[in-house]
C-alpha cells in the first residue's frame, strides 16, 4: 500500500505541475492578448485568443457574458486550471493509502513479535528438561508458558477482516493461467 500511496502522491504532484504550467501559459497568453487589444492590433489579439486553452476560452466567454468583456477571468475565479481537479482527487487517496500502509505495517510487526514469542516458548520448553533442579525446570517452563500465552492473547486480539482469520488471498487475474 505504501507503493500505491507513493504512486498516487507522484500523480498528484505531476498533475499540480501540469496545472501550474498551464496556468503560466494561459496567464502569458492572456497578458499578450490584452497588450494586443490595448494596442488595437486585432489580428494579433485574435492570434493569441486562438491559442487560449479550452478552460481559458470558457472563462473568457463567461466573463464576456457577465457584461465585462475586457475584465480578467483569473481575478473573477472563472478560470479553472486543467489537471487541478485530478491533483485534488489524488492527494486524499495518497494520504488514505499511506495511513492504511502504516496500519498494515503495525499489524505485520505484531505478527513478527508473536512469531518471536512462540519461538521463545519453544526454546524454553526444549531447554527445560536439561536443568537439574525441579525449581529451575518449573521456572523455565513457566517462562515458556508465559511467552506462549502472551502470543496467543496477542494473536486473538489482532484485528480481523470481516471474513475472519481464514481469508484466501486475492490473486490478480493476470496471474491465473487458463
**Can you give the pTM of this predicted structure?**
0.53
The answer to whether 124 and 140 are in contact (CB under 8 A) is yes
pLDDT at position 84 over 90: no
Mean pLDDT over each residue of the chain, to the nearest integer: 83
Distance (Å, rounded) from C-alpha 97 to C-alpha 101? Answer: 6
| Extended beta strands in the chain, E state | none
**Residue 120 grid cell:** 521463545
| Average confidence (pLDDT) over 158-166 | 72
Q: At how many degrees (to 10) do helices 54-65 and 2-38 cross? A: 50
**According to the model, what pLDDT value does residue 120 have?**
95
Q: Give alpha helix (H) positions in 128-162.
A: 134-157
What's residue 163's pLDDT?
A: 67
Q: How far is the C-alpha of 96 from the C-alpha of 76, rounded, in Å?
A: 33
Q: Point out which residues pair with 164 in neighbouring strands.
A: 161
Evaluate if residue 161 carries a pLDDT over 80.
no
| Higher-pLDDT residue of 94, 169 | 94
CB 23 within 8 A of CB 83: no
**DSSP tag of 170:** P
pLDDT tens, residue by residue, 93-148: 888 888 888 888 888 899 999 999 999 999 999 999 999 999 999 999 999 999 99
- Euclidean distance between CA atoms 33 and 48, whole angstroms: 5
pLDDT of residue 121: 95
CA separation for the pair 25, 82 (Å, rounded): 12
Residue 70 has a pLDDT of 59
Report yes or no: 4 and 66 within 8 Å, Cβ to Cβ: no
C-alpha cell at 114: 508473536
Q: How far apart are CA 66 and CA 60, in angstroms?
A: 10
Q: Which of 21-35, 125-139, 163-177 has the highest mean pLDDT?
A: 125-139
> With bands split at pLDDT 50, 70 and 90, how would you rate the model's confidence at 165?
low
Segments making up each domain of the chain, as ranges = 2-84
Amino acid at each position: 500500500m505504501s507503493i500505491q500511496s507513493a504512486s498516487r502522491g507522484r500523480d498528484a504532484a505531476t498533475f499540480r505541475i501540469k496545472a501550474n504550467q498551464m496556468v503560466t501559459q494561459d496567464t502569458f497568453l492572456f497578458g499578450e492578448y490584452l497588450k494586443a487589444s490595448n494596442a488595437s492590433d486585432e489580428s494579433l489579439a485574435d492570434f493569441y485568443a486562438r491559442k487560449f486553452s479550452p478552460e481559458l476560452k470558457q472563462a473568457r466567454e463567461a466573463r464576456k457574458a457577465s457584461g465585462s468583456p475586457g475584465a480578467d477571468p483569473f481575478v473573477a475565479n472563472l478560470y479553472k486550471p486543467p489537471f487541478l481537479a485530478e491533483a485534488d482527487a489524488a492527494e486524499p487517496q495518497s494520504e488514505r493509502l499511506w495511513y492504511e500502509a502504516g496500519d498494515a505495517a503495525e499489524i505485520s510487526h505484531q505478527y513478527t513479535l508473536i512469531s518471536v514469542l512462540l519461538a521463545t516458548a519453544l526454546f524454553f520448553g526444549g531447554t527445560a528438561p536439561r536443568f537439574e533442579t525441579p525449581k529451575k525446570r518449573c521456572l523455565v517452563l513457566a517462562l515458556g508458558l508465559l511467552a506462549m500465552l502472551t502470543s496467543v492473547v496477542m494473536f486473538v486480539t489482532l484485528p480481523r477482516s470481516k471474513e475472519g482469520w481464514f481469508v484466501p488471498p486475492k490473486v490478480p487475474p493476470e496471474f491465473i493461467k487458463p
